[in-house]
Amino acid sequence: MTTADPDEAPPAEIGPTPTCGDASHGPTGGCPAWEFGCVGWAGLGNLNATGHCLVAPTTGSVQASVDGAGFVASQVVGYLDGSTIGLSARLGDAQVVLFVPATIGVHDCAGPYSLAGIAYFAETTASLTTDFRSVMVAGIPPVCSVTVTDVGDVGQPLVGSFAATLVQWRYDPASGPPATLALANGSFSVVRAATQ
């Protein structure tokens, strides 16, 4: 029979991602950028950081052409994380995620240290199956721009447009270079959610 050392602290448990603003908000959970409504990763150019809480969907619209096919989001969420707009737009298993400074104007999002970024994810219950980001992969640079036209208060819209050629983040080098994905004529007008 094994007994526990009374002076030994129990191992830290990683719980589910907390909802923004609830009592469990803190280091006990975490979410990836591709989890719908994840807050806390925005502003990190490769979209590879862990967020800290989930915000509930709001209302509004996000639409774009994705490699020539229409994308009109059925679920959206927009929020401010510090001085950065974060936005998630979902249609089925596909999702457009972007972050951009919360200032009116045009923001380039094609560099590794960019303050703006866009990604296109698709996932199944088993894994993330499609992963394109506005970062250079295997020497292939992205093309990416986000224009912010309005930054509303909580309950008011976050409005802008975007266009990008994203580069496949997860790919098999034995199969050739990473693919690219074109997002054209993108627009968003999403009611800003509270994150506190």
CB 185 within 8 A of CB 62: no
Q: Check residue 140 and report its DSSP letter.
A: B
Looking at residue 114, what is its pLDDT? Answer: 77
What tokens appear for 194 in the block?
A: 């509270």
CB 50 within 8 A of CB 41: yes
Sign of CA dihedral 111, 115, 116, 117: positive
How many Cβ atoms are within 10 Å of 131's Cβ, its own excluded? 22
CB 119 within 8 A of CB 33: yes
Identify which of 55, 47, 46, 48 has the alpha carbon closest to the alpha carbon of residue 79.
55
Q: Break the chain into its structural domains and give their ranges.
A: 55-191
Q: Per-residue confidence of the chain (196 residues) as pLDDT tens digits? A: 333 333 333 333 334 455 675 544 444 456 777 788 887 655 555 566 667 778 888 999 999 999 999 999 999 999 988 888 989 999 998 999 998 999 999 998 876 677 888 989 887 555 667 889 888 888 888 889 999 999 999 999 999 999 999 999 888 889 899 999 999 999 999 999 987 6
User: Torsion angle of alpha carbons 37, 38, 41, 42, nearest 10°?
Assistant: 10
**What gap in Å lies between CA 6 and CA 79, rounded to an integer?**
44
Three-class secondary structure of residue 174 per DSSP: helix
pTM: 0.81
Looking at residue 177, what is its pLDDT? Answer: 93
**What gap in Å lies between CA 176 and CA 103, rounded to an integer?**
39
